[in-house]
Structure 1
């Protein structure tokens, strides 16, 4: 190695060092893109799982509330437009604003007296109860629960 003021001198130790080539840079970018795609696809799967869990939880909550509503209703009614259970083999839409007067004369409303809040997407999904008292929900295709 030469000695001197260091200006303009290339030492043997630095002679082999240089920047990234275009190919090396392209490989690094491709690897980062693949990693980003993997992370986003996993996050998408987690969102689907979370949506399914929320829907299952909401259906269970509405089912319990419907059972309590029917047990406290003077004639065993359901929170439907007609107030009564659907006929054999059919279903009826659940009305989240359904109400009745209990034996004390107090008005009880399905939401918030039995369900604290409307389920997520209650207004753009079809919440029904069948003749056995089972709650189901149908989400329109393309809709996200």
Structure 2
């Protein structure tokens, strides 16, 4: 059995060992799966919250970031969330709104160091709103497509 109280420095827990263990998860970390359609966490058959792999956790972070209005919730930093409210009711043309959506989404998602690029925007207008989708790529060169909507 290992000595719980070692006398020599070799057995001491160091900050370097703590950093090494925490970096084993990498920059992506872990999370729980969330269903944005139902607005609730995904549950396993045993009624535990399902875990998400690193890439799924990053994609969920991106989706959540473009669904969260910036400055509205104290729990989030001032860098988290979107600013689509600035587009509502201003009478801008569709071209300007699409350009601003691209800018806002790109700025919102590239705050996270895991996000490498945001591109491939597609827009569909219906009624008084604009649906959009874009391709996101992380630093591991994994790509996904996310969607959002802006009411104008």
Instruction: Using structure 2 for the length normalisation, give the TM-score.
Output: 0.27
Q: Specify which structure has the higher proportion of helix.
A: 1
Larger Rg: 1 or 2? 1
Q: Specify which structure has the higher proportion of strand.
A: 2
Instruction: Using structure 1 for the length normalisation, give the TM-score.
Output: 0.27
Q: Which has the higher contact order (CA 8 A, sep 6+)?
A: 1
